[in-house]
Structure 1
Amino acid sequence: MKRRQFTAALGVLPLAGPAFAQADDWPQRTVRVVCPFTPGGSQDNIARRLSSKLQDHLGQSFVIDNRSGAGGSIAADNVAKSPPDGYSMLLGGIASHAVAPNLYAKLPYNPFTDLETVAWIGTQPNMLCCHPSFPHDTVTKLIAAAKAEPGKYQYGSSGVGASPSLTMELLKQKTGADLTLISYRGASAAAADVLAGHVPLCIANIDSLMGQVSAGKLKPIATTGAKRAMVAPDTPTLVETVPDLVVTSWSIWAVPAGTPAKVKDKLRAATERALQDSEVIASMRQGGFEPGSNMPILEVDAFIKAEHKRWGEVIRAAGIKPE
């Protein structure tokens, strides 16, 4: 009996053999890395640093495709609807997997069924800063002032559904401090208004503000990680004052559901190798990003589900709606 007839008799799909061969040989052409943010930002920089190393390790080009908007959901949906062949991957994170699914009434994708996690990349804290002349320049002072004069103090941030502004919503819910969000298109615009004296406070991913902090133009009040940031060791964390208030922007690689296991294993191994590279580590840490360790995927997925639940509760309690 010929091989095709034999496999057909067993009920095996004729394409199963070639499909496995393609998975073994992956990648054989350019891989598209979809980034939910505009070029030049902290997450875009992470995607580019890692993509360069993946290209070195795997021998094919990894090209960044920036698709910003709708809290990361445009990029996530694009990858979710791409062929599950390993040639489209997402720089996923808190926006695409935890915030957008709770912020938007109808999403065109499900982060838990349409996408699969491949690798944990790492975390980056936010930083809360003020104008150097602002008198309430510690977490304790700020909370007391915001409770004593509700609504008086404003802070600038990049939008209602972003990690920095959600940090402040969580701070408000945990402490009763009454602070008012002024939404900007980006961290640079918010920082500019603090420097000009129009707004006393701003919060953003740490790399967006460190330049102004290092120049003495902004005064750091706190960072939001579990421990003090390596690039700002003298700046306290929020959790040193407010229990359980740890917030980071975290990043993962995700691919369309159904992507062959051999492809995912190969991508994960190359990513873990890249994250152990001394140049990558130094570059990431310079921007306040802490590269991840080899966290098992089951643990990563459990963390993502916990973050989804956590931010859903914060968003509903605050009555946050998309801008």
Structure 2
Amino acid sequence: MRRRHFTAGLATLPFVPTFALAQGDDWPNRNVRIVCPFTPGGSQDNIARRLAVKLSDEFGQTFVVENRTGAGGSIAADNVAKSPPDGYSVLLGNIGSHALVPHLYRKPAYNAVTDLETVAWIGTQPNLLCCHPNFEHNTLQKLIAAAKKEPGKYSFGSSGLGTSPTLTMELFKQKTGVDITFISYRGAAAAAADVLAGHVPMVISNIDSLMGQVSAGKLKPMASSGAKRSPVVPDTPTFAEVVSPDLVVTSWSIWAVPTGTPAKIKDKLRVATEKALKSPDVLESMKAGGFEPGIMTVPEIDAYIQTEIKRWGEVIRAAGIKPE
């Protein structure tokens, strides 16, 4: 009997360390995927890559940025939501994946609130409306007057319907009553290229994506969408200044992981991210692109997401945008 009990006891031993490791004690012990919903070279991609370098240094394992674009961020979010909850798939969550997709798709493949868990707040970035330097209606006041005089004549390019830049303009249209045509592009670079070529008069995108052309004098900034003027374009007014105090829109970023990811893993990632966001080189590079890093608790992030879901649902319904 004693021998039988001893043998049974040995059979359980291998499960003890496996259980412990499953809780994240040794995470990460291999490469970690950061799934980015945007094209390489864009502002969100730049943010992901800046932090990936810091996290790789912190943990001694490579954090690899994987771009999965399309459908307003839902392709990337769904990929992470359906990944094992082991900490090796991390989503660069954003306003699109979490607050816009629920209203833009009739049957989203995932639920951002129940299928994903927030880990860390990264920060916010305003959008910037720019025009070709030769565009005669190169201020918001001039644009509003011209668009009211000739409805539908003017257009702007942006990176898809389910993005904060595009919905900034939808909100602008609702607040002013103007009729401006939206032209969808795969990314900000393609939209800006058509403005530079004279095919479209205006482009709106996250501010970081357009600063190269603005600095070179190829694009003229017309308005930014933050609560206050951006330090990188201090002479450019905000939509809130010109149109309405509540016309404030920012593209925010978070880390999110599949629901069920061990708390220890989430804590490690959150602490390392907050450390990276305080490092001088990350602060300098992000602020140079108009991005404002920040720190929020997980309950604060979740509450903010809920307010964004409600707000943008109202804007989308008012715009008459039907779920696909």
Within a 5 Å distance, the mapping from 1:146-157 to structure 2 comes to 146-157=147-158
Deviates more, 1:75-84 or 1:148-157: 148-157
Structure 1's 130 and 4: CA in aligned 2 closer, same or farther, altered over 3 A?
Answer: farther
Aligned AA (2:85)? P
CA positional deviation for 1:319: 2.2
CA deviation digits over 1:58-95, x for unaligned, max 9? 22111122211211111111111111111111111011
Whether contact under 8 Å (2:130, 2:222) holds in the other structure is yes
CA shift, 1:17, in A, is 6.5
Secondary structure in 2 matching 1:90:
strand
Higher mean displacement: 276-285 or 190-199: 190-199
Aligned position for 1:308: 309
Residue of structure 2 aligned with 1:258, choices 254, 257, 260: 260
Amino acid at match of 1:153: Y
| Aligned equivalent of 1:244, options 240, 246, 256 | 246
Residue of structure 2 aligned with 1:274, choices 276, 286, 294:
276
- Amino acid in the other structure paired with 1:271: T
SS of equivalent residue, structure 2 residue 226: coil
Identify the range of structure 1 (193-202 vs 55-64) with the bigger mean alpha-carbon deviation.
Answer: 193-202
- Evaluate the alpha carbon distance shift between residue 55 and residue 181 of structure 1 in structure 2; reply closer, same or farther with a 3 A threshold: same
Cα offset, 1:285, TM superposition: 1.6
CA displacement, residues 232-263 of structure 1 (integer Å, 9 cap, x when unaligned): 11111111122201111111000010111111
Measure the CA separation in 2 of the matches of 1:208 and 1:30: 28
Shift of 1:115: 0.3
- When normalised by structure 2's length, the TM-score is 0.91
CA shift digits 1:103-162 (9 cap, x unpaired):
111111110001000000011111111222333222222223222322122112222222
In the other structure, the counterpart of 1:204 is 205
Q: Give matches, 1:152-191, under 5 Å.
A: 152-191=153-192
Aligned AA (1:61): T
Number of aligned residue pairs: give it: 317
3-state SS of paired residue (1:92): strand
Aligned equivalents of 1:3, 1:39: Cα separation in 2: 58
**Letter aligned with residue 307 of structure 2:** A
The CA distance in 2 between the partners of 1:165 and 1:195, in whole Å, is 19
> Shift of the alpha carbon at 1:16?
7.4
Corresponding residue for residue 73 of structure 1: 74
Deviating 4+ runs (over 4 angstroms): 1-6, 14-17
Following the alignment from structure 1 to structure 2, what is the Cα–Cα distance between the partners of residues 239 and 277?
31
Q: Does the residue aligned with 1:25 lie in a helix, a strand or coil?
A: coil
CA distance in structure 1 between the aligned counterparts of 2:61 and 2:77, rounded to whole angstroms:
23
Describe the shift of the 1:26–1:192 C-alpha distance in structure 2 as closer, same or farther (beyond 3 A): closer
Report the secondary structure of 2:155's partner residue: strand
Per-residue deviation, 1:37: 1.7
1:124 alignment partner, SS class: strand
Asked whether the 8 Å contact 1:34–1:65 carries over to 2, the reply is: yes
Corresponding residue SS for 1:73: helix
Q: Which amino acid aligns with 1:263?
A: I
2:19 aligns to what? Answer: 19
Q: What's the offset of the Cα at 1:266?
A: 0.8
Structure 1 runs not aligned, ≥5 long:
7-13
Letter in 2 for 1:118: V
- How far residue 283 of structure 1 moved from its aligned partner, in angstroms, is 1.2
Does the CA-based 8 Å contact 1:71-1:95 persist in structure 2? yes
Q: What is the CA-CA distance between 1:265 and the residue it aligns to? A: 0.7
Distance 2:43 2:56 in 1: 20
Q: What is the alpha-carbon distance in structure 1 between the residues aligned to residue 322 and residue 159 of structure 2?
A: 15
> Percent identity among equivalent residues?
72
Taking only aligned residues, the RMSD between alpha carbons, in angstroms, comes to 2.4
Kindly tell me: are residues 114 and 131 of structure 1, through their superposed partners in 2, closer, same or farther at Cα, counting changes over 3 Å? same
Is structure 2 residue 117 aligned with structure 1 residue 116? Answer: yes
Structure 1: distance between partners of 2:7 and 2:247? 60
Which one-letter code corresponds to 2:123 in the other structure? G
